[in-house]
């Protein structure tokens, strides 16, 4: 097995000192090479030598997604001929952003995933079946691939979807682990049940779960995780990542939040005024990349709301851990006098067995407040089923959202409009402001 990245196992104070040294390097690099940040330091009269500690970061105005969208090229710090890979954000909210990577950035990305898979109990003895795309400018796909290679483990690129092919490959090549979206793992289980495949005698013992939460805010398995492990005796590891940060937070076997990779990223949780939230409070995940050459980011607001845990973990790491995403800033629904985050609504929907697929649509009504329309595909078209769904939603939400039942093929078109890589579960048709 490769040696584990050691900095994570040092004391929190040593990690902080290490990060602050890397931060000083980054500030000099940005001042020299980034048109966007040079202008930011100048217009806000920030001498970079005034930023010495992680606490000092709060003196710098955060970078918003809109800045990255509108002034994308100004973030680029290298000549065009140094760029190897052009990736793009998935566009969950807003138009996609190009993130360009140099050869060094690709090496950094491989190291990031190597260290993530190692954190999730991966070794060179493992074989990972990748149930995701490596195309469409998707950074994570190739990151997993190169990280697994660095770990010395085996890799099988099956791609997303097609449960029959996934099972046929599992039976033939005997992977020990899968990398997949949790709701797709549910589909794998359903397919196995329908086709007489005994999942618990398969070679797969663990799943690295991407793209969706598998834990509650209290770090207990959520309903999606329970539905998987009630039937399939595998260990689930949660990960949280984004294209912009070029870094992943991955759970260890303790499953107590995703570990920060301190060599690659500084993370702050901040409030609406750009100030760090109090210990234990939820705040917007704001990241500063370390060691990125092509498009480094300084205090970039991800839009994701999380909590952080700083107590040492039973795995021996002293790094900060992040909770699952409690909500996305732009997916906050003001619903009949309460505030509702989309993941909380998804969690309620996941509890209803009668719902096969769904898309949540939010729009503004005549008086400018939010309305929720659920597009649902149910297991059947019986009135009894629809009444059950309505009653359950009413009980959990106090007021029922509008519901529209649609056929599976209409649902497919709604979830997969042209060019998307992952199913759309949230459509925002609200008027801005």
What residue spans of 89-162 are helical by DSSP H? 103-119, 139-151
Count residues binding Zn ion (CB under 5 A). 5
CA-to-CA distance for 121 and 313, rounded, in angstroms? 15
Minimum CB separation of residue 341 from Zn ion in Å reads 26
Q: Among 185, 429, 217, which Cα is nearest to 327's?
A: 217
Q: Does 254 bind Zn ion (CB under 5 A)?
A: yes
CA-to-CA distance for 336 and 391, rounded, in angstroms? 18
Q: Does 4 bind Zn ion (CB under 5 A)?
A: no
Count, residues in the chain:
433
- CA max distance for the chain: 68
Q: Helix (H, G, I), strand (E, B), or coil: what is residue 126?
A: coil
Region binding Zn ion by CB under 5 A among candidate stretches 246-254, 278-286, 296-304, 340-348: 246-254
Closer Cβ to Zn ion, 9 or 405, answer by number = 9
Closer Cβ to Zn ion, 202 or 319, answer by number = 319
The correct pick among 54, 78, 127, 315 for binding Zn ion (CB under 5 A) is 315
Closer Cβ to Zn ion, 317 or 425, answer by number = 317
CA-to-CA distance for 186 and 192, rounded, in angstroms? 10
Closer Cβ to Zn ion, 315 or 373, answer by number = 315
Region binding Zn ion by CB under 5 A among candidate stretches 175-183, 314-322, 326-334, 409-417: 314-322
Minimum CB separation of residue 253 from Zn ion in Å reads 7
Region binding Zn ion by CB under 5 A among candidate stretches 15-23, 75-83, 313-321, 352-360: 313-321
Beta bridge partners of 359: 375
CA-to-CA distance for 155 and 152, rounded, in angstroms? 9
The correct pick among 313, 322, 340, 411 for binding Zn ion (CB under 5 A) is 313
Closer Cβ to Zn ion, 251 or 284, answer by number = 251
Q: Helix (H, G, I), strand (E, B), or coil: what is residue 277?
A: coil
The correct pick among 27, 156, 252, 290 for binding Zn ion (CB under 5 A) is 252
CA angle 20, 23, 29 (to 5 degrees): 155
Closer Cβ to Zn ion, 132 or 260, answer by number = 260
Task: Give the CA distances from residue 401 to residues 334, 349, 381, in Å, rounded to whole numbers and listed in that order.
Answer: 12, 12, 19
Q: What is the DSSP string of 384-425?
A: HHHHHHHHHHHHHHSSPPEEEE--HHHHHHHHS-TT-SS---
Beta bridge partners of 403: 374
CA-to-CA distance for 106 and 147, rounded, in angstroms? 10
Q: Which of residues 341-360 bind Zn ion (CB under 5 A)?
A: none
Q: Does 12 bind Zn ion (CB under 5 A)?
A: no
Q: What is the 3-state secondary structure (H, E, C) of 297-329?
A: CCCEEEEEEECEECCCCCCCCCCCEECCCCEEH
Minimum CB separation of residue 3 from Zn ion in Å reads 17
Minimum CB separation of residue 258 from Zn ion in Å reads 9
Closer Cβ to Zn ion, 236 or 252, answer by number = 252
Minimum CB separation of residue 311 from Zn ion in Å reads 10
Rg of the chain over Cα atoms, rounded to whole angstroms, equals: 22
Region binding Zn ion by CB under 5 A among candidate stretches 41-49, 84-92, 152-160, 306-314: 306-314
- Phi/psi for 151 (5° steps) reads -70, -20
Closer Cβ to Zn ion, 189 or 313, answer by number = 313
Closer Cβ to Zn ion, 150 or 317, answer by number = 317
Region binding Zn ion by CB under 5 A among candidate stretches 35-43, 132-140, 187-195, 308-316: 308-316
Region binding Zn ion by CB under 5 A among candidate stretches 130-138, 240-248, 309-317, 403-411: 309-317
Closer Cβ to Zn ion, 57 or 322, answer by number = 322
Q: Interface with Zn ion by CB under 5 A: which residues?
A: 252, 254, 313, 315, 317
């Amino acid at each position: 097995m490769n040696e584990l990245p050691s900095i994570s196992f040092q004391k929190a104070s040593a990690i902080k000192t290490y990060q602050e040294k890397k931060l000083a390097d980054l500030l000099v690099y940005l001042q020299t090479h980034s048109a966007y940040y040079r202008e930011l330091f100048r217009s806000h009269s920030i001498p970079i030598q005034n930023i010495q500690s992680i606490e000092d970061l709060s003196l710098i105005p955060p970078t918003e997604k809109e800045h990255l969208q509108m002034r994308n090229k100004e973030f680029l710090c290298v000549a065009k001929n140094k760029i190897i890979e052009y990736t793009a954000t998935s566009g969950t909210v807003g138009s996609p952003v190009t993130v360009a990577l140099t050869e060094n950035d690709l090496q950094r990305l491989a190291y990031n995933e190597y260290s993530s898979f190692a954190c999730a109990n991966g070794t060179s003895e493992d074989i990972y079946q990748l149930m995701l795309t490596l195309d469409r400018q998707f950074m994570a796909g190739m990151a997993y691939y190169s990280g697994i290679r660095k770990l010395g483990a085996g890799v099988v690129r099956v791609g997303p979807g097609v449960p029959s092919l996934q099972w046929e490959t599992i039976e033939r090549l005997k992977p020990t682990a899968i990398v997949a979206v949790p709701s797709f793992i549910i589909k794998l289980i359903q397919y196995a049940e329908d086709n007489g495949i005994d999942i618990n005698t398969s070679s797969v013992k663990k799943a690295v779960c991407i793209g969706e939460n598998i834990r509650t805010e209290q770090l207990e398995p959520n309903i999606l995780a329970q539905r998987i492990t009630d039937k399939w005796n595998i260990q689930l590891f949660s990960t949280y990542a984004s294209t912009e940060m070029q870094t992943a937070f991955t759970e260890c076997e303790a499953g107590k939040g995703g570990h920060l990779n301190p060599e690659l990223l500084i993370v702050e949780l901040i409030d609406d005024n750009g100030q760090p939230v109090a210990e234990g409070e939820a705040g917007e995940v704001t990241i500063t990349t370390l060691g990125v050459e092509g498009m480094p980011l300084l205090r970039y607001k991800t839009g994701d709301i999380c909590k952080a845990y700083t107590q040492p973990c039973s795995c021996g790491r002293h790094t900060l851990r992040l909770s699952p995403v409690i909500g996305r800033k732009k997916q906050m629904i003001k619903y009949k006098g309460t505030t509702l985050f989309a993941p909380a609504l998804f969690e309620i929907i996941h509890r209803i067995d009668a719902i096969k697929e769904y898309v949540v649509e939010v729009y503004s009504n005549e008086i400018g407040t939010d309305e929720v329309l659920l597009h649902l595909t149910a297991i059947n078209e019986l009135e009894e089923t629809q009444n059950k769904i309505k009653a359950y939603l009413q009980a959990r939400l106090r007021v029922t959202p509008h519901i529209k039942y649609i056929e599976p093929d209409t649902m497919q078109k709604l979830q997969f409009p042209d060019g998307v890589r992952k199913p759309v579960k949230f459509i925002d048709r609200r008027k801005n402001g």
